[in-house]
C-alpha cells in the first residue's frame, strides 16, 4: 500500500507521492512548492511549477530568496531540469478540466522526462482557480483520483495546492482524493494503491457520509475487467453500516461487486451482518 495520511511539510515525499496542501495565500504556496521541488531535484526528477500569473514573475518569486533551494532551482532552470508554467497559458477563466485528457498529458510529460534521463516528473501546482465553480470542482475531483491511480505505475509526484478561501467543504473533498495532505480534519482518504481499484483509509461514520457519497460520485472509482471494485481497506479504522452500503451502492451502479480487501475484523463483522450479495471481504492478495 502506498504512503497515506497527514503530513506536516513538503520536504520528505517520494517519487510517486501525491499531497494536497491547503494554504493561506500565494506566498505560502510558493514557499512550500520551493521545498517540494528542491527535494525532487535531489531525487533526480524533472520539476515544474504550475500557477496562475506571468511566468517571469512566478520565476522571480520562486527564486527570490537566498536559501540553497533557490540556488538549486535556478541551476535546474538553466539546465532544463525545471520549468515554470503559467495556468493562464493553458486554461481560460472558468475552464472545466477534462480528467482523462489531463492524466494523459502528465503521463506523456513524465515519459518524456524519463526519456531525457530524469527519474520522473514532479509538479507543484496552485490549482485554486481550477475548482472555483461546482462543475470545475466535480471534474477536478475526478481528475485528482485518476492521477492518483496513475501514480501507482508512473514515477510522477505532485503537490496540489488549494487556497483555504475555497471553504472547508471543497478542501475536504479534494483532500480526500489525495494519498497525503496537511489538513488534519481529513477523516478518510481514497487513493491509488497496487493491485486494487483504490485504497481506502481512515474512518467512515454518519459525520462523513455525505462527503463519502460526494467523493464516490465525483471520483467514480470504476470496476476492473473482472467486474469488481476492489478497495484495500487494511487501514480503515472504522466503517458504519451506512457507509458500507454507500460503497456497495456505488459498485452496484456499475453492475459490479464490491470487494473489501484486508478488511479489519470490526469492518468484516459489519459486512457479515449486512449480508449484501454484492458486498464481500477478501484476504490480502
CA gap 278, 255 in Å, rounded:
9
- Contact 42/73 with Cβ under 8 angstroms? no
Q: Provide the percentage of residues in the chain whose pLDDT is more than 70.
A: 100
Q: Can you tell me the mean pLDDT for 143-152?
A: 96
Q: Can you tell me the mean pLDDT for 160-165?
A: 97
Beta bridge partner(s), residue 49: 84, 124
Burial of 155 (0-12, 13-18, 19+ CB in 10 A): buried
In which band, very low, low, confident or very high, does the pLDDT at 278 lie, cut at 50, 70 and 90?
A: very high
pLDDT tens, residue by residue, 189-207: 999 999 999 999 999 999 9
pLDDT tens, residue by residue, 219-254: 999 999 999 999 999 999 999 999 999 999 999 999
Q: What is the pLDDT of residue 121?
A: 98
Cell output for 217: 460520485
Question: What's CA 160's distance to the chain center, in Å?
Answer: 7
Q: Provide the percentage of residues in the chain whose pLDDT is more than 90.
A: 89
pLDDT tens, residue by residue, 172-185: 999 999 999 999 99
**Mean pLDDT estimate for the chain:** 94
Q: What is the pLDDT of residue 81?
A: 97
Q: What is the pLDDT of residue 14?
A: 86
pTM of this prediction? 0.94
Q: Which of 250, 184, 210 is nearest to 6 (CA)?
A: 184
- Grouping H, G, I as helix, E, B as strand and the rest as coil, residue 42 is helix
Res. 260: pLDDT tops 70: yes
Q: Give every CB contact of residue 186 below 8 A, 6+ residues apart in sequence.
A: 6, 172, 175, 176, 202
Cell output for 70: 533557490
Q: What is the pLDDT of residue 283?
A: 77
Q: What is the DSSP string of 173-231?
A: HHHTTSSEES-TT--EEEE--TTSSEEEEEEESGGGHHHHHHHHHHH-PPP-TTSEEEE
1-185 to CATH, choices 3.40.50.300, 3.40.50.620, 3.40.50.150, 1.10.10.10: 3.40.50.300
Q: Which of 136, 141, 221 is nearest to 173 (CA)?
A: 141
Res. 170: pLDDT tops 90: yes
Output the CATH code of domain 187-285: 3.30.750.24
- Grouping H, G, I as helix, E, B as strand and the rest as coil, residue 52 is coil
Q: What is the DSSP letter of 10?
A: S
Q: What is the pLDDT of residue 133?
A: 95
Q: What is the pLDDT of residue 119?
A: 97
CA gap 67, 28 in Å, rounded:
16
CA gap 23, 32 in Å, rounded:
9
What ranges in the chain are assigned the alpha helix state H?
26-42, 55-63, 68-79, 99-115, 134-150, 168-175, 209-219, 241-253, 265-274
Which of 2-11, 72-81, 216-225 comes out lowest in average pLDDT?
A: 2-11
Domain ranges (residues) in the chain:
1-185, 187-285
First to last CA, the chain: 11
Q: What is the pLDDT of residue 285?
A: 63
Q: What are phi and psi of 100, to 5 degrees?
A: -65, -35
Amino acid at each position: 500500500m502506498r504512503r497515506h495520511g497527514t503530513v506536516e511539510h513538503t520536504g520528505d515525499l517520494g517519487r510517486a507521492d501525491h499531497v494536497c496542501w491547503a494554504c493561506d495565500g500565494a506566498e505560502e504556496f510558493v514557499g512550500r512548492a520551493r521545498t517540494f521541488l528542491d527535494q525532487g531535484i535531489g531525487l533526480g526528477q524533472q520539476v515544474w511549477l504550475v500557477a496562475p500569473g506571468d511566468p517571469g514573475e512566478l520565476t522571480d518569486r520562486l527564486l527570490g530568496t537566498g536559501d540553497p533551494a533557490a540556488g538549486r532551482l535556478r541551476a535546474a532552470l538553466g539546465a532544463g531540469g525545471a520549468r515554470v508554467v503559467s495556468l493562464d497559458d493553458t486554461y481560460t477563466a472558468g475552464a472545466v478540466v477534462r480528467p482523462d485528457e489531463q492524466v494523459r498529458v502528465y503521463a506523456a510529460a513524465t515519459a518524456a522526462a524519463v526519456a531525457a534521463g530524469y527519474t520522473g516528473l514532479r509538479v507543484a501546482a496552485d490549482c485554486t482557480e481550477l475548482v472555483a465553480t461546482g462543475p470545475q470542482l466535480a471534474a477536478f475531483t475526478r481528475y485528482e483520483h485518476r492521477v492518483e491511480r496513475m501514480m501507482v505505475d508512473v514515477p510522477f509526484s505532485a503537490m496540489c495546492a488549494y487556497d483555504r478561501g475555497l471553504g472547508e467543504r471543497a478542501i475536504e473533498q479534494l483532500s480526500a482524493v489525495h494519498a497525503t495532505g496537511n489538513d488534519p480534519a481529513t477523516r478518510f482518504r481514497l487513493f491509488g494503491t497496487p493491485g486494487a481499484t483504490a485504497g481506502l483509509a481512515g474512518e467512515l461514520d454518519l459525520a462523513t457520509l455525505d462527503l463519502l457519497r460526494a467523493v464516490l460520485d465525483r471520483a467514480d472509482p470504476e470496476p476492473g475487467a473482472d467486474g469488481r471494485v476492489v478497495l484495500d481497506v487494511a487501514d480503515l479504522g472504522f466503517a458504519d453500516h451506512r457507509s458500507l452500503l454507500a460503497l456497495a451502492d456505488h459498485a452496484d451502479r456499475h453492475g459490479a461487486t464490491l470487494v473489501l480487501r484486508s478488511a479489519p475484523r470490526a469492518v468484516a463483522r459489519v459486512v457479515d451482518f449486512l449480508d449484501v450479495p454484492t458486498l464481500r471481504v477478501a484476504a490480502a492478495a
